[in-house]
Amino acid sequence: MYLRCTMGLNNILFVMTLLLYGAASMKSQAYFNKTGELPCHFTNSQNISLDELVVFWQDQDKLVLYELYRGKENPQNVHRKYKGRTSFDKDNWTLRLHNIQIKDKGLYQCFVHHKGPKGLVPMHQMNSDLSVLANFSQPEIMVTSNRTENSGIINLTCSSIQGYPEPKEMYFLVKTENSSTKYDTVMKKSQNNVTELYNVSISLSFSVPEASNVSIFCVLQLESMKLPSLPYNIETNKVERKESEQTKERVRYHETERSDEAQCVNISKTASGDNSTTQF
Ligand SMILES: *[C@@H]1O[C@H](CO)[C@@H](O)[C@H](O)[C@H]1NC(C)=O
Ligand SMILES: *[C@@H]1O[C@H](CO)[C@@H](O)[C@H](O)[C@H]1NC(C)=O
Ligand SMILES: *[C@@H]1O[C@H](CO)[C@@H](O)[C@H](O)[C@H]1NC(C)=O
Ligand SMILES: *[C@@H]1O[C@H](CO)[C@@H](O)[C@H](O)[C@H]1NC(C)=O
Ligand SMILES: *[C@@H]1O[C@H](CO)[C@@H](O)[C@H](O)[C@H]1NC(C)=O
Ligand SMILES: *[C@@H]1O[C@H](CO)[C@@H](O)[C@H](O)[C@H]1NC(C)=O
Ligand SMILES: *[C@@H]1O[C@H](CO)[C@@H](O)[C@H](O)[C@H]1NC(C)=O
Ligand SMILES: *[C@@H]1O[C@H](CO)[C@@H](O)[C@H](O)[C@H]1NC(C)=O
Ligand SMILES: *[C@@H]1O[C@H](CO)[C@@H](O)[C@H](O)[C@H]1NC(C)=O
Ligand SMILES: *[C@@H]1O[C@H](CO)[C@@H](O)[C@H](O)[C@H]1NC(C)=O
Ligand SMILES: *[C@@H]1O[C@H](CO)[C@@H](O)[C@H](O)[C@H]1NC(C)=O
Ligand SMILES: *[C@@H]1O[C@H](CO)[C@@H](O)[C@H](O)[C@H]1NC(C)=O
């Protein structure tokens, strides 16, 4: 922000101008469809009455979100996209923006002016950089085609929905007793053109090894964390009677509440030994 300097400007005001020009910027984070906070951090050290202050917030396109004119809300200058979406917290000089959309990310500025006898004097400015997040759902593995007796190939798809920003990568992790293999596959993504949220998915065609217990995970790598799926377990017993039992593949669906051991599918080639212990 530039201040139009007039002839009578004194040194103190000039120093203030520099301070205002290099105004502090704060990072702020909000979740999609929730409420965001745009702080102003005004301390009012001179204890100026609200009746003498003009306070407003604007976005990076200079559209006004909220204005408090000498202690009274002034909706006239508020842009229609922000009408009814804000509330001002007088206690800590924070503006709340409700029903946050992905489009709301960006830079916001709060200005405090003193309306004195000589007109409006800038007193304080605060910039906040708002980023918007939406949590992806826990990745979920689905069987798109079961393995058959002769192919031994199982086709899996893993998907996660309604998140933002775009994930870094997504992959399958196949764990056996003494190995852990990462399968990189192409991540398919689709973005909703209204909400701007992403759906992502990957697919794997996996050849199930003859004699090992396998746990398949799907991992969504986000900016700062990994979001793993529940395991998909394939369990095999190296027992003699496979000829007779192989044809009777038994699939059990087992669901519990606990996320680290729930909702697994155990495929066993024998009638016994339905036990697996898997941790991510
Ligand atoms: C926003 O949140 C409300 C409840 O808080 C919910 O009913 C609505 O479906 C959500 N909208 C979106 C687009 O997620
Ligand atoms: C402002 O105060 C509210 C509670 O009154 C608190 O939840 C919020 O975190 C505060 N915001 C800032 C920026 O201090
Ligand atoms: C600020 O001014 C009000 C009256 O305008 C007064 O009641 C209050 O005590 C003052 N507070 C401080 C910290 O000076
Ligand atoms: C999103 O995930 C983070 C980290 O797991 C959690 O702290 C936060 O509460 C979640 N937010 C919403 C809106 O679900
Ligand atoms: C896989 O096989 C099981 C049991 O035979 C069946 O319940 C399930 O629907 C099959 N899944 C698919 C995707 O064909
Ligand atoms: C571990 O790997 C070795 C060598 O690849 C293999 O011979 C052995 O059977 C594996 N052990 C288990 C328990 O799978
Ligand atoms: C994302 O997934 C949800 C739920 O399956 C679906 O309703 C929505 O249409 C999908 N969006 C896109 C952009 O594919
Ligand atoms: C979003 O996409 C759908 C179909 O893909 C289209 O009918 C609709 O007009 C689009 N909306 C906007 C706001 O672009
Ligand atoms: C499994 O996936 C592979 C590779 O995408 C494909 O060639 C194959 O036809 C699929 N199998 C079935 C039974 O759909
Ligand atoms: C698979 O797990 C079952 C039960 O823990 C065990 O009996 C069997 O020997 C395991 N098979 C292999 C090949 O490790
Ligand atoms: C299937 O696997 C899960 C996770 O490892 C395990 O908790 C459950 O007991 C298994 N189900 C059967 C029937 O063995
Ligand atoms: C599964 O195996 C573990 C050790 O491998 C054992 O402690 C547990 O009791 C077994 N569970 C069942 C249901 O057999």
Domain membership of residue 36 (yes or no) is: yes
Q: What is the predicted pLDDT for the residue at 23?
A: 56
Distance 268 CA to ligand 4 centre (A): 37
Same-domain status, 162 and 240: yes
Rounded Cα–Cα distance for residues 174 and 204 (Å):
11
Residues 96 and 204 in one domain: no
Number of other residues whose CB lies within 10 A of the CB of residue 193: 6
Q: How far apart are the CA of 78 and the centre of ligand 1, in A?
A: 25
pLDDT of residue 275: 37
89 in any annotated domain: yes
Tell me the Cα Rg of the chain. 29
The ligand minimizing its distance to the Cα of 148 is 9
- Candidates 210, 212, 236, 278: which one to mutate for ligand 10, based on the most atoms within 8 Å of Cβ? 236
Comparing 6 with 216, the larger pLDDT belongs to 216
151 within domain boundaries = yes
Q: Which of 274, 275, 273, 271 is nearest to 247 (CA)?
A: 271
Residue with tokens 């039992």: 245
Q: Indicate whether 157 and 205 sit together in one domain.
A: yes
The tokens of 151 are what? 């192919």
Give the span between the Cα atoms of 37 and 104, in whole angstroms: 12
pLDDT tens track for 98-126: 999 999 999 999 999 999 888 899 999 99
Tell me the pLDDT tens digit for each residue of 265-275.
333 323 333 33
Are 120 and 79 in a shared domain? yes
Closest-approaching ligand to the CA atom of 195: 1
Residue 188 CA to ligand 10 centre (angstroms) = 35
Ligand 7 site-directed mutation target among 192, 193, 194, 195, most atoms within 8 Å of CB: 192
- Cα gap 190→197, rounded to integer Å: 8
Residues 119 and 174 grouped into a single domain:
no
Residue 258's pLDDT band (boundaries 50, 70, 90)?
very low
What is the pTM for the complete model shown? 0.72
User: Of 136, 129, 216, which is closest to residue 168 (Cα–Cα)?
Assistant: 136
Nearest CA to ligand 2 atom 3: 92
- For residue 23, list its beta bridge partners: none
- Out of 132, 154, 175, a domain closes at 132
* Atom 5 of ligand 7, residue of closest alpha carbon: 161
25 with 128, same domain: the answer is: yes
CATH number of the domain encompassing residue 37? 2.60.40.10
**What is the C-alpha separation between 271 and 137, in angstroms, rounded?**
35
Cβ density class 235-258: b for 16+ within 10 Å, e for less: bbbeeeeeeebeeeeeeeeeeeee
250: pLDDT strictly greater than 50: no
Region of residue 158 (phi > 0: left; psi between -120 and 50: alpha; otherwise: beta): beta
Q: What is the DSSP letter of 139?
A: P
- The residue whose CB lies within 8 Å of the most ligand 8 atoms, and thus the one to mutate among 193, 195, 196, 199, is 193
Q: Tell which atom from ligand 9 comes closest to the C-alpha of 146.
A: 13
Task: Please name the residue whose Cα sits nearest to atom 12 of ligand 4.
Answer: 135
CB 39 within 8 A of CB 142: no
- Total number of domains constituting the chain: 2
Residue 280 lies in a domain: no
Report the percent of the chain where pLDDT is more than 70: 76
Domain that holds residue 50: 11-132
Measured by CA distance, the residue closest to atom 3 of ligand 3 is: 47
Mean pLDDT of 165-169: 95
Q: Do residue 124 and residue 144 come from a single domain?
A: no
Are residue 111 and residue 176 in the same domain, yes or no? Answer: no
Same domain, residue pair 122 and 18:
yes
| Percent with pLDDT over 90 in the chain | 59
Quick check: CB of 145 below 6 Å from ligand 9? yes
Where a domain ends, among 81, 112, 132? 132
Pocket test for ligand 5, best of 143, 145, 149, 204 (most atoms within 8 A of CB): 143
Determine the pLDDT at residue 237. Answer: 56
pLDDT above 60 for 47: yes
Domain boundary among 69, 98, 132: 132
User: Is pLDDT at 1 greater than 50 in this prediction?
Assistant: no
Residue 23 lies in a domain: yes
Domain presence at residue 250: yes
Tell me the CA–centroid distance for residue 67 and ligand 3, in Å. Answer: 23
Q: Which atom of ligand 8 is nearest to the CA of 193?
A: 1
Res. 160: pLDDT tops 70: yes
CA dihedral 237, 238, 241, 247 (to 10 degrees): 50
Name the closest-CA residue to atom 1, ligand 11. Answer: 266
- CA 62 to chain CA centroid, Å, is 26
Sorted by sequence, the CB contacts under 8 Å of residue 193 that are 6+ apart come out as none
- Specify burial of residue 47 (Cβ count, 10 A radius: 0-12, 13-18, 19+): exposed
Of 85-99, 101-115, 206-220, 238-252, the range with the lowest mean pLDDT is: 238-252
